[in-house]
Structure formats: structure tokens, C-alpha cells
Amino acid sequence: FFSTMGRLNVRVVRGTNLEDVDIFGKSDPYVVLELEGQKQKTKVIKNCLNPVWDQTLSFNVLNPATSCLQVTVKDQHFMKDRKIGTCTVALAHLQRGHKDFKVLSLLKCTSGSIEIELEALDFGVDSGAAPGPANGQYPPPQGQPAQPMPGSAPYPPNSNTAQPCPQQPYYQ
């Protein structure tokens, strides 16, 4: 079986008007990014509802046509960290080598948005390219035409809102 590992850079720029979930003072926010079992987080910005992280985190991507980046903003607390808000971004629409800037409204909270920049380094839609792994298709068997990846849909246009991800099967 042939597989190619792609690389994704995610620049977490800033948060705006984050919900204050701290009882005393303001929240101490940080961002947790999760993708295909990988988890990374930004630094904590103390006592701030409009934090600027400007931090780039890198991920390996095995399945860009079906993978989704889970973005969670949390408040650091001495007892237990609390969730401020969350959103999800599909990777299928990313263009190879293009920096895709997004302002994402946080869900499961009363207010807040987060600005991120996604860059697919060696996968993604390549305008005018022949079918292949870079634009969401399996490498074809020898002598066979390329087929779309299962569950893939036409790439949506760039959007500045979080996009829902397809349901992923759960394996025990």
C-alpha cells in the first residue's frame, strides 16, 4: 500500500473577545490543536481576552482529504484547565503551498473567535495538476485511471468560517 505523509503548518495568530471563564481576573488562554492523533498547544497568555500567540505548530498529515483540525481554546487554571470554546476545520480544500488565513468563530461558548493561518506544505489542491495524492486522490494502480478518495467531495471554496468535518469511524 502506497502512502505519502504530508506536512501542515498552523500559525495560531490571535484570539478576539474570548469568553471570560475565570472567576477571579481574566482567563489565561492557550490553544490546543489536534490532528490525526497528534496534539500540540501554544503558550499561555496570562490575564487576557484578546491574546496574541503568533505561534506556528507543525503536523504530519496522512489523510488530507478526510482529516480535520480540531481547535480548542482553554483557560489555564491552577485546579483544572477549562474549555473556552472550540471549532473544527477540514483540510480537503487547502491549496498546496498557499497560506489560507481564517477567522473562526468559537462554538460552545458565548463569544470569541480565533485567527489561524493554514499552510499545506506538500499536499492539497494544485490548480491545473493531474490527479494524484496531492489533490485528494489515491495513486492509481498501474494502468488504471485515478479515482477520488472515498468520502471526498468537490473542494469547497475558501471560507472564513469553520467547516464541519465528516463523521469519522470509531475503531476499538
Q: How many CB atoms lie within 10 A of CB 23?
A: 7
**Every domain of the chain and the residues it spans:** 6-120
Which is more confident, 117 or 129? 117
How many residues are recorded in the chain?
Answer: 172
What CATH number does the domain located at 6-120 have? Answer: 2.60.40.150
- Mean pLDDT for 154-164 is 36
For residue range 1-60, what is the model confidence (pLDDT) as tens digits?
445 689 999 999 999 999 988 877 889 999 999 999 999 999 999 999 999 999 999 999
% the chain with pLDDT above 90: 55
pTM over 0.85: no
> What count of other Cβ atoms lies within 10 Å of the Cβ of residue 13?
18
